[in-house]
Amino acid sequence: MLGLILFLIVLFFAIAAPVFADYENEAIKQNVYEKFAPPSREHLLGMDAYGRDLFARIIFGARLSLVISLTTVGASMVLGCLIGSLCAYYGGWLDAITMRIVDIFLALPMTLMAVTVVAALGTSTTNLIIALTISMIPPFVRIVRSAVLQVKGSDYIEAAVAYGSKDMRIILTHVLPNAIGPIIVQATLNLASVLLSVAALGFIGLGVPSPQPEWGTMLAESKAQMRYHPWQVIIPGVAVAITVLSINLIGDGLRDALDPKLKN
């Protein structure tokens, strides 16, 4: 519940951002004279290193951060579920070959993979999403596969085969709903990593193209000022933390809500 409320607040700001601030003038336009200005009535959270309104950058940044992370996790989850459940259900050479490929991907550091993809495709938000999604699919495949393997052996799956249910139907109506628990947990964990990955990529110039505000990039950019202007790091950091926390809480709640054993 708390998670939901927090998340809705974040979402609200993200969507309603233009109401609170002017994108061009505040988030983007640099104003050297006002750099590092402390919070004031006009600029609620003060200014950043380039004289941009921090508050404006945060709330506009919310949009990008949310879009990137949710899309990435969503897409990788769906694809991961598909691949993982097919592998687990059918086994055999499909499983063997796919899992070896997945193992190779898992051995590569996620950031490195994302770097490779972005370097190949070019720097843009869309490419960033593609890169991160690709790197996020293997862990999902692993989790989904083991959850499905566990469910697959159950009698009730055999029963469904016995009354003539087709494979795809069994996977969608029986297997996945029962395997959803660990998948949701993994999804929420991945959300945090995505946000941070974007930052990492931003740090080396392969992230969201400047000067678009985005929390991860803001974190990277302000790392250098940490000693004298800690707020520059703390504020986007807190924003990330709150969002990730809210999503984790939602994930827990969702997992429990979907478990009929906890229903009364």
Partner 1 sequence: MEERCSNQPILQTKELTKYFKTSRGLLHAVDHVNLSISANKTLGVVGESGCGKSTLGRTILKLIEPTSGEILYHGVNIESCSASKMRDMRRKMQIIFQDPYASLDPRKSVKDLIADPLKVYGVSKAEREDIVFEIMKTVGIAERFAQSYPHELDGGRRQRIGIARALVLNPEFIVCDEPVSALDVSIQAQILNLLMDLQESHGLTYLFITHDLSVVRHISDEIVVMYLGVVVERAPSKELFANPLHPYTKELIRAIPIPDLKPEHKLIHSIRGEVSDPIEPPARCRFAPRCNYCTDACMGCQPALRDMGNDHYVACALYDK
CA atoms within 13 A on the CB side of 85: 22
Contacts of 155 (CB under 8 A, 6+ apart): none
**Could you give the C-alpha distances from 113 to 59, 118, 133, 206, 253, in angstroms and in order?**
29, 9, 10, 12, 32
Binding piece for partner 1, criterion CB under 8 A, among 2-10, 25-33, 53-61, 170-178: 170-178
Least Å distance between CB 67 and partner 1? 32
Read off the tokens for 95: 């499983």
Q: What residues between 119 and 158 interact with partner 1 by CB under 8 A?
A: 154-156, 158
Number of residues that bind partner 1 (CB under 8 A): 21
Indicate whether 85 belongs to the interface with partner 1 (CB under 8 A).
no
**Could you give the C-alpha distances from 189 to 6, 42, 97, 192, 220, in angstroms and in order?**
17, 36, 27, 6, 21
Read off the tokens for 97: 């070959």
Alpha-carbon distance of 134 to 101, in angstroms, equals 13
Nearer to partner 1, 51 or 182 (CB): 182
Nearer to partner 1, 166 or 223 (CB): 166
Nearer to partner 1, 52 or 152 (CB): 152
Alpha-carbon distance of 83 to 170, in angstroms, equals 15
Indicate whether 163 belongs to the interface with partner 1 (CB under 8 A).
yes
Least Å distance between CB 60 and partner 1? 41
Indicate whether 160 belongs to the interface with partner 1 (CB under 8 A).
yes
Indicate whether 263 belongs to the interface with partner 1 (CB under 8 A).
yes
Binding piece for partner 1, criterion CB under 8 A, among 54-62, 115-123, 159-167, 204-212: 159-167
**Could you give the C-alpha distances from 211 to 59, 123, 143, 205, in angstroms and in order?**
14, 13, 37, 11
Q: Name which position in 123, 165, 225, 248 contacts partner 1 (CB under 8 A).
A: 165
Q: Name which position in 1, 162, 227, 228 contacts partner 1 (CB under 8 A).
A: 162
Residues in the chain: 264
Indicate whether 92 belongs to the interface with partner 1 (CB under 8 A).
no
Beta strands in the chain (DSSP E): none
Least Å distance between CB 151 and partner 1? 9
258 phi and psi angles, rounded to 5 deg: -80, -10
Alpha-carbon distance of 241 to 143, in angstroms, equals 24
Q: What residues between 172 and 211 interact with partner 1 by CB under 8 A?
A: 173-174, 177-178
Least Å distance between CB 83 and partner 1? 23
Least Å distance between CB 44 and partner 1? 47
Chain residues in the site for partner 1 (CB under 8 A):
154-156, 158-166, 169, 173-174, 177-178, 258, 260-261, 263
